[in-house]
Every structure is written in structure tokens, then in C-alpha cells.
Structure 1
Amino acid sequence: MTAEPTHLARLLRDTAATAILPNWHGIAASHKADGSFVTESDLAAQRYLSEALARDFPGIPLLGEEMTSAEQERMLQNADSALWVVDPLDGTSNYAAGFPAFSISLALIESGRPVLGAILDPVRDECFVAARGQGAWLNDQPIQPFAPSRSIRDCLAMVDLKRLPPELLRAVTRQTCFSSQRYLGSVALEWCWLAAGRFQLYLHGGQKLWDYAAGRLIADEAGAAAMHLIPDSLEPSPAITLEPRLAIAAANAELLDAWRACLKLDVAAS
């Protein structure tokens, strides 16, 4: 069976209906070794997707957030051929607290880069999909970023303050070059909302592969401009790694240049 966006969207909706939405508002969260949250819904969703993908696409391994680091490293060795990357519940702390911003993210990686991505917002029943070189869609409708003007001062910024390197945190909190700042708490959805024109500037200090594999593909295919950087050095980074990456993006290349200038982030485009 050939992987197609519509098939992936159906799998994600089935996963949400079976493993995520029935337990929302009433499930306990616990801390993992890295300090992040996990619930039984995370684990159930990963099991459901793993079984469904193995059935429909036998022979393609899966790298999931809820695997051990050793398992993830072993799976990543297949990234040069074909590999599924899954975040079964992105925004677990939101989900456990009852805040309606969480998602399921699924990407297919071939030859070391994402080629297919699907992200479902179960609360709004919004499914964002993209195929490399073919564009991006929301519920079968094409999407693209939106900017109210060419000026960064008119732009809404989505910024995760918690994980930023100190120099960037100082730059963000001292600047008034953008209109206002928000933070959604689900990386996958944040990439999708940028792609769909719901804000114009993006900055996040620590994304894992399963956070951004599908989301950045969707944003790229919609027409956004984005970079991933190594947090300590702020140097451009290869996309496929298990190490956290800093993301900076904007609705278009002109706004990305202005956003980098605002933050005094002088790096070559990747």
C-alpha cells in the first residue's frame, strides 16, 4: 500500500477516537525521566498507531516519542531508507490539564528527510497534511501563511520562552519589534498554525524530531520560511537528529530576515 495523506488522516482520526478523546478530562499524568509528562493516552495512542502502520505498511519501522532513547537511536538508523516518526500526543501537559491544544503527529522520512506529514487536532477536528513538493492542506483545503503587512511590527509571534538560550530570551523580552506574543504548548500545532496563517513569527528553543518532523514539512510546503539551529552554538543543523533543535520561522522569507534581525540572530539560512 502506498502512503497517502488521506490515509494518514484517517489513521490519526481513528487513533484519537480510540485512544485519546475518550480519556480527556479525567486522566492522571506522570513524569518521565526527562521531566516531561506522560499519560496512559500517550502510550495507548502510540500502540494503536504502531499496530495500524505495521498492518498497512509492513516493513517500515517506527520511531515514537514513548520509546527508550536506545530504541529511538536504533530506529533512526533507518532514516536513510524509510521510517515513521510519531508523537502520539503532542501537548500532554495541556491534555492532562484540560487545555484544548494538543495533537497527534505522524511523519514519513525517506532518504533522511520528511516526505509526508499529518497532524490532527482532535478537539477541532482539524487535520493538516503535506507531501513534499505537492503543498499543504487543512481538511482537504490548501493552506498558506498570512501576513497583515510587510512590517514585523504588525506580526503576532508564537514564542516558547521556557527553552530559549539566555541571550535569545533577553532579546525577546527586551524587544518591541513585533505586535504581541503567544504560546500554544503543542509544537506540532504551532507549525500548522503558522502554515495556516494564524500567526506570523515563531521561536522555540528545544524541539525534538517527533515534535517537528511533520510540522515543519507542513509549514515548508505551505510556503513559510524556517530554520533549525543547534541551541548552544546557534549554527544551522541537519534536520534528522534526536538532539533538541531551536526553531525560528516566519510567514515568509522577508519576515524571517526581519525576525532574525530583531533578535540579532546572525546565521546563514539553512
Structure 2
Amino acid sequence: MSHPFVDNQAWSGLKQAIVSLAKQEVMSRFNQIGYEVKKDGSLLTEADTSMQQQVTQLLKREWPEFALLGEESSLEIQQAALDHPNGCWVLDPVDGTTNFANHIPFFSVSLALLIAGKPVAGLVYDPARDELFSARVGLGAELNDQPLNSPQITPPLKRCVGIIDFKRLDAPLATVLATQAPYASQRSFGSVALDWCWIAAGRGQIYLHGNQSLWDYAAGWLILEEAGGASCSLDAEAVFQNKIGKRSAVAAINQSTLSLWHEWIQTQQ
């Protein structure tokens, strides 16, 4: 089954709609609302629930043939969506809710379309910077409708900036990274979807995260792939899997840089 976004008009319309909804439902609430704590300890705000409701309505109206897997849906609904024969949307209405709830302007809306168990289209919108990262399989990646290509130079690790999430790494690896880092400097921003996109844009050369969900990485993974970047899991498998379970992610601006980075990590385990 072909996906609907080979057509540029449909793709452009979806991007414009998501940007508009993000400004209306997410950015308009920034610095204005509190949050509640979910059972898993993560945060939930009115922006999360409102954005998911509005995007769900949009997608059901325009593309009713696809199911929707939203972060704020129940596990049963998520699994049913993933099993849908036509494919499904994967939505994170606010990726970086902790940042959002604490008035830190680094969060995003992430949306991907999976067909036959693979991402075919994805977008990540950063409303604080008005930056829209997007990709369609085989058609390349874009930032605000301009081609996005990852740098293809291969710097030594000691000159790389790493986007590293220490919190979700095993303690031995986190410790050696903190005390004997192979890179020049490290950052941790708090939105997985944007992390992938920033590596795609060369805003950091290497990336490491120990435990991310499908809705965190589906769109960003495709954007990095289409931009010319590369990734694998800590155990050298493909990061993307058509399942809800958590995944580790090692990524870089290109395959040769990924090889250097992953080989170094392997020597520490």
C-alpha cells in the first residue's frame, strides 16, 4: 500500500496543520499551566492531552484509513494501532514535557506514519524556535522546507560534541563517560525527537540514549536516516523496531562517525 505523502500538496497540508495546532495547543500554554504526575513518574500537562485530541481529530478526518498510536493512549489502544493492517500514526504531542512544565523552551511535537511496520513519513516541530524538521522515505529530509543533510566529514571523537542522556544508561557506562569522556563536550537537552533532528543538522556529532519509546524516536529516526546520518542500538541492532518496547540508541552524523563512536562504547562494556 502506498502512503499518501508522495503527493506534495497533502504533505504540505499536514505540516502546516501540525505547526498551526502546536502554536495553538502547545505554545499558547507555555509558562501558563501546571502538570500532574503519571503512574510511571513522567509528567502530563493540559498541552499534552489537548494536542493529542486535536491531532487525532485532524488525522481521523483527513486519513481515516490509518490508526493512531499516541503517547497518552492506553497500552491496549497503542498495541491495536500498531497491529492495524493499513498502518498507523505515531504521535508524541509534547516530547519534552518536563522541559515544558518547568518553563524550559526545548520541546517538540513528533508525528510519524508507519506502514507495513516501517516509518514512511515523519515530522518534528519545535514551536519555541519555529523549526520544522521533516522527511519522507526515499525523498530526503528537510528543515523548514529546505534540504537537510548531515555533515559527511568524520571528526575524531575527541573533537565531537555529544548529546548524551546519562539518566537512562547503565551506571558503569555513565560513569566512564562522566570521568573519561572520549568527546570534547556533552549536552543533554530533554527532547528525544529534537535530539535526533539536531544530530541530523550537525548540532552535535554523536548521540547516546539508553531507553526511549517508539513515539520518542520514530519520526526523528527517519529524519536522521534521510539526512544521511546513521544509528544502531547499544547491541548493534537497528534502533527502529515495530514494537512499543523501549530501545537504546547510538547515533551520529554519518556511518563512519557512528562506527568510531559505537566501537568506543563497546570497549567500555
> Which interval holds the TM-score relative to the shorter structure?
over 0.9
SS at match of 2:65: coil
Match of 1:249 among 248, 251, 254: 251
Match of 2:125 among 120, 141, 164: 120
1:167 aligns with 2:169: no
User: Are the counterparts in 2 of residues 147 and 200 from structure 1 also a CA contact under 8 Å?
Assistant: no
What do the CA deviations read for 1:136-185 (whole angstroms, capped 9, x no partner)? 00011111223675311111000000001223213322333211000110
Moved more, 24-33 or 162-171: 162-171
SS at match of 2:151: coil
User: Are the counterparts in 2 of residues 5 and 116 from structure 1 also a CA contact under 8 Å?
Assistant: no
User: Are the counterparts in 1 of residues 231 and 251 from structure 2 also a CA contact under 8 Å?
Assistant: yes
- Give the whole-Å Cα distance in 2 for the aligned partners of 1:121 and 1:55: 24
The CA RMSD over aligned residues, in Å, is: 1.9
User: Are the counterparts in 2 of residues 8 and 118 from structure 1 also a CA contact under 8 Å?
Assistant: no
Aligned residues: 262
User: Are the counterparts in 1 of residues 173 and 268 from structure 2 also a CA contact under 8 Å?
Assistant: no
- Give the whole-Å Cα distance in 1 for the aligned partners of 2:243 and 2:176: 27
- Give the whole-Å Cα distance in 2 for the aligned partners of 1:235 and 1:140: 32
TM-score (norm 2): 0.92
Q: What residue in structure 2 maps to residue 82 of structure 1?
A: 87
SS at match of 2:4: coil
Q: What residue in structure 1 maps to residue 51 of structure 2?
A: 45
Match of 1:197 among 199, 202, 213: 202
Q: CA deviation at 1:130?
A: 0.2
Q: What residue in structure 2 maps to residue 239 of structure 1?
A: 241
User: Are the counterparts in 2 of residues 64 and 86 from structure 1 also a CA contact under 8 Å?
Assistant: yes
**Residues 1:60 and 1:265: Cα distance change in structure 2 (over 3 Å):** farther
Gaps of 5+ in 1: none
4+ aligned runs moved over 3 Å, structure 1: none
- Give the whole-Å Cα distance in 2 for the aligned partners of 1:2 and 1:255: 34
| Percentage of identical aligned residues | 40
**Residues 1:154 and 1:147: Cα distance change in structure 2 (over 3 Å):** farther
Gaps of 5+ in 2: none
What do the CA deviations read for 1:52-100 (whole angstroms, capped 9, x no partner)? 011111121100000011211121112x531100000000010111111
TM-score (norm 1): 0.92
